Structures are given as structure tokens and as C-alpha cells.
Structure 1
């Protein structure tokens, strides 16, 4: 049993390691520690409750069950994150993991023409790739947020951000994602991620973000 524990833990952690396509670096997923701890605990319980001749089998069975429980929601979101990173590689869309949530940052220069709320034709393929993952991972709620820079009238920017968020929402609905899973809001220039004093900052602020939230939270 003492020999089995390090092997179970190492195997569980190895299974939770993925390669970030943006950096090429390997990283341990957010659920590796939880899954590893669950696997070890499950193995101990499985071995303790099995007969003496079946302890090894009991430990392995318990490890599998414990790993699933230990990983929980995080494991589900890890799988979704991995698929999104694979599909969005070199697309210009940034995938950001925040706890059990995933945020997709879609820069305005690749999603919409200046001052327009109609999705650019060359962005449909990327958005369709996102939709394919969202259809598969149906236990995820989607918050679509539109953002603008501070150039121009505040009411115009507010309407534009709302219209862009709704354009993305309607397209996702057209790709077989239930409307009840999606919220769309526009925030105008209220939440900048960079200074509006520079062209680069204003470009960064013009964006649509998709926040993916596990429904079981």
C-alpha cells in the first residue's frame, strides 16, 4: 500500500498536466491537487474496506472514485478550458482562467468593424469554434459583456456595447446554445483594462468578453 500511494498521486497529477498553446509551457491544472488528494483518500478507504486479497483492487477503485470527487467542478472546467485553448490557438482570443470560471477576451479589432455591432465575417469561424465547445459543455452559463473605449458620447458607447454583446448572444443562440444559458450586457467605457489616453489602450478597451461559469456553483 505504501508503494501504491506515490504512484497513484503521480499518475493523477500527470493526467492533470496540459500544455498552454500560447506559451508552450506545461502547467498543472487547477484541480490536480484536489483530484490527487481525493485519489489518495479514496485509495485508503478502498483498501480498508476490501478483503485482504482484494486490497490492491479496492485501492485502485477507490482512487478512481476519490479522484473524480476531488476534481469536481474544477475538472469539468479544466476539460472545457483545454478544448477552448486548442480551438482558439492563434485566433487572437485570450483564454483566462479565474478559479472555476473561464473568461474569453475577444478584442474589438477582430470582432467588429469600428462603430458597428455586426460581427465581422472573418470572425464567424472563431465564434463557431467557441460555440461547439459551449454546446458540448452544457453545464456552463455564459455572460457576454460588451466594452468600449471612452471616445465619443457616453450614451452612444453604451448602446454600442449593448448591441455588440447582443450580437454575440444571438449568434450563439443560432448555434444551438439555449437562450436561457446566456446573459448579455453592455458596459460602455466603465471598465477599462488600459488607459484611454493612448491608441493602444483604447484598442485594448474595445472588446467583448465571454465569462463561462459552472452552473453548479
Structure 2
């Protein structure tokens, strides 16, 4: 559980990580496990970040949790319902139909798929929300906000965490969360994928290949 080198200078890793690491060491069965804990940061270093998608915490199902917000291992069937709704909006928005729930291809293109809480007890959603992970998330977001970036903030928790850190130089897309309980309250029809690519292209950047 070594902090990824490009992010390791964040104050969290000196101030908070030792205590959280000790807690995890004496906690059996937490997800996504030591090898995947920092996968989002491993795959998307600060200088590569072009867009940020905030989740909440890892899936509490061992077959689903893999260290990237909303992502699941390839071949997972059925998809978690929030991810299925994300793919429904992706197809409506861009015409891209995909069934592979592994979003590693997004992360490798500079889309930081960050859960503000990086661990969860197996079978217990939000079970680690009081460990202090949110301090790391705030520091990551502040670093990403040092240059213009697209922020896709789905649901009130993501918006509450990120919006105070962001200025007008960013693309800030807010909507309801894609969960089955809220997707029809503003996530469907929000067009986050095409809007992100239009903004990137307008700045001379390369659009994200959302099919990857």
C-alpha cells in the first residue's frame, strides 16, 4: 500500500495515512484490497489529469471493487445499476454503446476516476466514511484544480466536496447521481461526455475516447 510517487508529496500521506494504514491492517476483508487501493492514482498521475469523475466509495462486493470509481472488472455481468445508467447516458449522449464495465481505458486517457473514500468493509457501503479519506480527496482535487480541468460531479456528496475548491476556469458539470434512485432527476439527459469533449476540443485538447 505504497502511495503513488506522483501524488506522495500530498500532506495527507505524512499526516493521515499512517493512522488509516494501521486501521486497515487490523481490519479483515476490506475492499478493494491493498493491491488496488490507490489504482486511480497509479493510472492517472497529476500531470495527466484532464477530467475528474467523483464516485463515493468502492463497491462493497468483492467481485466488483477494483479501485476505480464506478468501474468493475472486465466480463462482469450484470453491471452495477449505477454503471448501467452511466452507459445508458453515454449511448444517448454520444451514440457509443458499451458493455465492458472496465473503465481502465478512461483512466489511462487522463480521466481520474476517484472515490473520495478509498476503502469499504466488504458488504457495508459507506462503512469507512469516518476514516478520514476525504482529506486526501480534497488535496487531490486541489492539485487537479491548479490548471483548467473538467469536473463531472454527480450527486450532492461529490458537489459538496469539490465545488468549494473550483473556479470559473474549469468545466464544472453537476447533475444527479446515476444511481437508480436519482438518475431520472437530472442525470439522464445531462450530456456529460459530449460536453467534456467539446470543452477539451475548444481548448485544443484531444477528446476522450469514451469507448476505450
Return the structure number with greater relative CO, CA threshold 8 A, min gap 6. 2
What's the TM-score once normalised by structure 2's chain length? 0.31
* Higher CA-based Rg: 1
Higher strand share: 1
What's the TM-score once normalised by structure 1's chain length? 0.30
